[in-house]
Amino acid sequence: MAGVIDGKMVAAKVNEETAKMVADMARSGNMQPGLAVVLVGDDPASQVYVGMKVKKCAELGIYSEKRVLPADASQEDVLGVVRELNEDPKIHGILVQSPPPPQIDEREIVRAILPSKDVDCFHPENVGKMLLGDEDGFQPCTPAGIMELLKRYDIDPEGKHAVVIGRSNIVGKPMMALLVQKAKGANATVTVCHSRTKNIAEIAATADILIAAIGKPEFVTADMVKEGAVVIDVGINRIDDPAAKRGYRLVGDVAFDEVAGKASLITPVPGGVGPMTIAMLMRNAVKACAAKIRNKKS
Ligand code: GUN
């Protein structure tokens, strides 16, 4: 039976470190890190995520602003908010919750965010730096959170076969880039599988580290997992469940119970990768502020 990777516990430690950095900044008379979270529309899951981010800011001493735009907001409306936040000295990080409503061109919005405030690491300039292994740049929150989990559980990807299922710009592609990097805590051999891959199950079953980020409930079954593999589940899927209080329950992209019988370590949903994503976002916001302080001094 696999050990369960406790993302809540690791995230709490990372958050403690972040809160200390915020407190140290205040003690030395420096500015308070500030994060703006922009939500366009009323998607219930996005509302929950945005609420969690704002709440975590308050817990760690980070100033936050929540900007909510209606579901029928125009591209110009959203760009206007981003431009205003770019100019705002209280704000060091800007996040526009993804996905926005269909009339919004997300590519253009992401490119409008100042790279120095792009705490999601979605801007092409930051994605490029990340791919090149630039250590001063941002790292995207979910993949960075997974790397942190591996590190804190002493799982060294070096020389291991990591299989990433999913090629999204938010998780799959940057996950591949971080794992393959020539760097301590990385150096993996990486395979990326996606919807057009012919033999996902066979490839997945060769993984020492298997990362599921496809958004399909319980897609990864025990037959797709090598005995003793480390399994990281990025999925958060709502499944109708009349017996549940809210009328739904959350499941990952991995069939947890059966896969736990084969894996050596596995992340649960909820309580695995999710809390790490928020912890890394908070850390990025503080990093953005620290860079601003350094630039002012030099
Ligand atoms: N939607 C799902 N994950 C993320 C994320 O990490 N950042 C943003 N902005 N939107 C998301």
Per-residue pLDDT for 298 more than 80?
no
pLDDT tens-digit series, residues 224-261:
999 999 999 999 999 999 999 999 999 999 999 999 99
Percent of the chain having pLDDT more than 70?
Answer: 100
Question: Measured in angstroms, how far is the CA atom of residue 278 from the centroid of ligand 1?
Answer: 10
pLDDT at 53: 98
Backbone angles phi, psi at 26, to 5 degrees: -65, -40
Rounded CA separation 118/62 (Å): 16
| Angle formed at CA 259 by CA 254 and CA 263, multiple of 5 degrees | 115
Question: Measured in angstroms, how far is the CA atom of residue 291 from the centroid of ligand 1?
Answer: 23
CB within 6 Å of ligand 1 — which residues?
95-98, 120, 141-142, 170, 277
Show which residues are catalytic: 53, 97, 120
Mutate to test the pocket of ligand 1, among 49, 50, 142 (most ligand atoms within 8 A of CB): 49
Amino acid at 118: D
Decide if 207 contacts 163 (C-beta within 8 A). Answer: yes
Amino acid at 74: S
pLDDT tens-digit series, residues 112-161:
999 999 999 999 999 999 999 999 899 999 999 999 999 999 999 999 99
Nearest CA to 106 out of 51, 167, 170 is that of 170
User: Which segments of the chain does DSSP mark as H helices, in order?
Assistant: 7-27, 44-60, 75-87, 106-112, 124-132, 141-152, 172-180, 200-204, 256-260, 273-297
Cα 291 → chain centroid:
21
Closest residue by CA, ligand 1 atom 3:
98
Closest residue by CA, ligand 1 atom 11:
98
pLDDT at 180: 98
Strands 265-266 and 3-4: parallel
Greatest Cα pair distance, the chain, in angstroms, is 59
Q: Which residue has the higher pLDDT, 298 or 96?
A: 96
Closest residue by CA, ligand 1 atom 8:
97
Per-residue pLDDT for 86 more than 90?
yes
Nearest CA to 251 out of 263, 268, 266 is that of 268
pLDDT at 152: 98
Structure tokens, 175: 């996950």
Rounded CA separation 209/228 (Å): 9
Structure tokens, 11: 């995230």
Nearest CA to 132 out of 94, 183, 169 is that of 183
Decide if 177 contacts 142 (C-beta within 8 A). Answer: no
Structure pTM? Answer: 0.97
Per-residue pLDDT for 275 more than 80?
yes
